[in-house]
Amino acid sequence: MNLNNDEEVEELLKKINEAVKKELSEKRYKHSVGVMEKAEELAKIYGADVNKAKLVGLAHDIGKELSREEKLQYAKENNIEIDEIEKINVGLLHGKIGADICKKRYGFTEDMQAAIKYHTTGSGKKEMTLLEKIIFLADKIEENRRYKDENKMAELEELRELAKKNLDLATIKAIDNSLIYTIQKGELIHPDSVLTRNGLIL
Q: Which pLDDT score, from 0 to 100, does residue 149 have? A: 87
Residues of the chain with pLDDT under 70: 125-126
Q: Which pLDDT score, from 0 to 100, does residue 126 have? A: 67
8 A C-beta contact, residue 5 and residue 55: no
- The CA distance from 62 to 96, in Å, is 11
Q: Which pLDDT score, from 0 to 100, does residue 15 have? A: 98
pTM: predicted TM-score of the whole model, two decimal places = 0.95
Structural domains of the chain sorted by starting position, each given as residue range(s) with its CATH number in brackets: 6-201 (1.10.3210.10)
Q: Which one-letter DSSP state was computed for residue 66?
A: S
Which pLDDT tens digit goes with each residue over 114-126? 999 999 998 886 6
Q: Which pLDDT score, from 0 to 100, does residue 2 have? A: 78
**CA dist 87 to 11, 68, 72, 124, 156, Å?**
37, 10, 9, 18, 30
8 A C-beta contact, residue 54 and residue 36: yes
Query: What is the number of residues in the chain?
Result: 202
